[in-house]
Amino acid sequence: MKFFVVTLFEEMFHAWAESGLVGQALKKQNFQMEFINPRSFTSDVHQAVDDKVYGGGDGMAAMFGPWSEAIEFAMQKEPSAQVIFLTPQGESWNQKKVSEFLQRKPSQEMGIRSFVFVCGRYAGFDERLVKAYADHEISIGDYVLNGGELAAMVVMESLVRGLPGVLGESSSFRKDSFGEEGLLECPQFTRPQSVKGMDVPSFLLSGHHKNIEALSRAISIVRTKNRRPELLEKAQISSKELEAAEKLIRQLSEEERDLLGVNS
């Protein structure tokens, strides 16, 4: 997978691209990344990439010229690349979209799967840039950031996690919250066994793997119901399955249920 990032602030990406799993994945060439600065496509002395918006007001928007040339530069390198504009007005990014984007396989002639992320600044883009180039407009949430860089990193990292060879435990991409089943993951514990009056739930210490699996799934279902009921509806968990999960967690103590967030 290759990411082209159209941005005025490449330096924002450096620490991210060098750290943790993303850093390792980049080193192993699980994905590639190239930055394109719209300022490189200016010819005036100020290297202007923004201008006053029409209609009054003091807002400045990304100008068509340098931004369109930056996007076209990427597309010349990878003509099959999908262009993604980061904008608070776009479709909400979520794990389902991550899977959809990962599943779309390029045909042989298309070459490597590539995306161009366009990171806005100021008041946003001249809308004609979006009309001319966007395959997708993506928002990472209903709030406004100063620029698209953080949003691009969020989207890229969620995609990188799903690339073959990136996560050590290959099933964790499917088992994480919002994964294959669309549920929240069961809470995790590590040593010490007892801390601040809270004990690791005893079923996790039993060594009985079938029982651990069944209870973990039941906890996942009930925790999702308590925290994100709308996800449970989408996950297509039948009322019979929910009842069975609720019955199963009754074998946990009151304290354990409280700790696991499954008390009703």
Residue ranges binding ligand SAM (CB under 6 A):
86-89, 119-121, 123-125, 139-141, 143-148, 151
Q: How far is the CB of 224 from ligand SAM (least distance, A)?
A: 25
Measure the CA–CA gap between 70 and 4, rounded to whole angstroms: 10
State the greatest distance between any 2 C-alpha atoms of the chain, in Å, as a whole number.
73
Closer of 101 and 173 to ligand SAM (Cβ):
101
Closer of 148 and 201 to ligand SAM (Cβ):
148
Residue nearest to ligand SAM (CB): 120
Closer of 148 and 182 to ligand SAM (Cβ):
148
Strand partners, 85: 118, 137
Q: Which two tokens stand for residue 99?
A: 């899977």
Q: How far is the CB of 113 from ligand SAM (least distance, A)?
A: 21
Q: Which two tokens stand for residue 178?
A: 């919002």
Q: How far is the CB of 2 from ligand SAM (least distance, A)?
A: 21
Closer of 120 and 182 to ligand SAM (Cβ):
120
Q: How far is the CB of 142 from ligand SAM (least distance, A)?
A: 7
Closer of 80 and 92 to ligand SAM (Cβ):
92
Q: How far is CA 100 from CA 9, 11, 97, 140, 201, in A?
A: 28, 29, 5, 16, 36
Q: How far is CA 8 from CA 82, 129, 182, in A?
A: 20, 16, 36
Measure the CA–CA gap between 33 and 94, rounded to whole angstroms: 22
Q: How far is the CB of 75 from ligand SAM (least distance, A)?
A: 19
